[in-house]
Every structure is written in structure tokens, then in C-alpha cells.
A = this chain, B = another copy of it.
Amino acid sequence: MLDTTAQQDTPSRLDPTRLQQLATEVYQSIGVPEQDAQLAADTLVQADLWGHQSHGLLRLAWYVARLKSGAMKAVTQTSLTVDAGAICVMDGHDGIGQVITRQAVDQAVARAKLHGVGVVSIRNSNHFGTCMYYTRIAAEQGCVMLLMSNAGPNMAPWGGLKKKIGTNPWSIAVPGGDYGPIVMDMANSGVARGKIYLANNRNEEIPPHWAVDAAGRPTTDPKAALEGFILPMAGHKGYVMGVMVDILSGVLSGSQFLDKVHGPYDPVNRSGAGHLMVALNVAAFQPLSEFHQKIDQYVRSLKDVPLAAGHEQVFYPGELEKQADAENRARGLALPADTVADVVRVAREAGVNSNLAQ
């Protein structure tokens, strides 16, 4: 553990490149090939840069634990179980979710460029971090991309009291013009589980509509919430969406589903997570430049409205992340002291000199 003085001294802003290099070295120290280690590290730092700290370096220790136990394999080797033109089924063989999913992006985009649409159904994968990391890459290449994943169970079916359904995130990214890609990324729970972990790490209370305790009572205690049930977003709608994402990710791919999927915070069990990725090549539908112009027009129209009290502007989907990324790259990342301490500990255990707590 970092001592208290060191925590106090933690610089308020850390260099993201240095953090990415550190996480890369940690991954490499446990047998992850360099390129894969760089990717996995980048997904963590990028999540922090976007302001999604619940999916950032906070999770490095979890992934390391899974790699050390062998639940997630350090060397990722994918294969295609089905390889049929516009579609394929990819088997991740319990490799690193980030590496598997990044390969899937290339598969989906290549198939979309040939066939107008490319579909990759992915089995035996692992948690891959933030969905939008991958969908944005496709959008930069002129494709609309939809990506979804199932996850370890932490919500009960509507009306039930047993964890069966994951937060099951999904993202859509669309190529943009002057504004860059338009990006949606959300979970079907009222709140990402990672945000409750973060509140727990920070010893903060949570809003009462985020979760119920094990007996089904609303709670503001993140610990009780983690032992209970996260509530779906928008009531039964979030439940229904969670089920559909689980079926399309887990059942269609021939992977695991419902409570047979294990999450990234489980250090010993293979994940069984499945994903579904669909890429649409915009140029097959209309000239890409026209599409870019219309998206620019779209964003301008969205913003051209009278503002409600308490709002200074209308944001398009993904704009907040874009702004956070620019600011954090310029000023450095301000991470919670607990997260920094965790990273320092993991690095020390891996024999890597972190240089974060000088």
C-alpha cells in the first residue's frame, strides 16, 4: 500500500502516456505479448481520458488477477468457427477481451467494405472494457458500428430476486464530419456497476434509485448495493434490453448467458462472455461525404434550441467524452488516490517500477 503521505502527494494530474506505458509493462510482466499489452493498457487509459473512471485503470488489478489465475489467457489466439462472407463467428478461446474485440473490429470492417455489412459474433471472450473504444475505430473508417456484450450477472429479472442479468453494455458509433464520430455507449442498468465500485473506493454514498440490497430494499450504501441488486434503467425497459443484449451476445454466438457468465471482478472463473458486432459501410448506402455533411447539419440542428434552466449547451452523443479527452490529454489525468495506489501496488507486485509515488 502507498502510505498516506504518498497519497496526499499524488500529483493531481498524471501523464497518460506514462500510465499507458506502465500498464503495458505490467501486462507484459505476466506474459502478454507487447502489442496486445499496449492495446489492453490503452483501453484502460482511454477510458480514464474519457472520464469513464469506472472502466479505467481501476480495473488493471482485476485483469491482472484473472491473467495470473489463468481464467483469462495471456496469449490470445482467436479462430473463426464460421467464416461466411458478410458474417463470421469468432472464438476467443478465453483470451484477452480487448485483443479479441479489436481483432473483431478489423473483421467486421473488412467484411462491411466488401458486402456493405459485416457481422462478427464472438464466443468465449472476456470483458473488453468500454464498448465505445471499438465502435469509434470503425466510425473513423467510415462504418456505423453496433457492439454489444453480455456480462456477469448483477441484476435480477423484473419481479425476481436472484442475479441473472448483467449490465450488458452496448454502443453505436456513427462517422461524423467536423465534429468527429457521434457515439453512444451505455449499460442497461440504471448505473454501471463500476460506478458503485468507485463510490465504494471513495467511501461515497450512492443515490437510492441505483440499487437495492439483498432483501430488495433501496440502499445508499455502495457495499450493500454490491451485495444486492442493481436496478435496470427505466424500470422493466432496462430489464428487457438486458435480456435482448444477452441473447444476441451470448446465445447467438454459442457462448455463455445469464448467470453462467463471469465478470472481470471474478479472479478465477473463465468468463464465457459473448459479443455481437455489426458494421455498416456508409459508402454502400450513400456517398460518405454527403453523410458527413448531414451529420454536421444534424449536430448544428440539435444545438440550435432554446436552453432549459441550468443548461449551458446541448451536447451531441459522445461530445462530453471528446471534451474530457482533450482536457485530460492537455492537463494530465486526475485519478482517485485509491486507483493510483492500486496501480502502484499492482506494478510493484509485477516487478515494474511505477515512479508514480516519488
Contact = CB atoms under 8 A, between A and B. Distances in A.
Interface string A264-282: 0000000000000010101
Nearest to A281: B87
A157 interface: yes
A216 B306 CA distance: 11
A305 B163 CA distance: 9
How many identical chains are in the complex? 2
A190 B234 contact: yes
Interface in A248-301: 248, 251-254, 257-259, 278, 280, 282, 284-286, 291, 294-295, 298, 301
Interface residues of A, number: 69
Contacts of A241: 184, 186
A80 interface: no
A238 to B, nearest CB: 7
A248 B280 CA distance: 10
B244 A314 contact: no
Contacts of A326: none
28 contacts: A87-B117, A89-B286, A144-B252, A156-B308, A157-B314, A158-B314, A158-B315, A159-B311, A159-B313, A159-B315, A160-B305, A160-B306, A172-B244, A172-B248, A184-B244, A186-B240, A186-B241, A216-B308, A233-B233, A243-B317, A244-B317, A247-B298, A251-B295, A252-B280, A253-B285, A254-B286, A257-B294, A259-B301
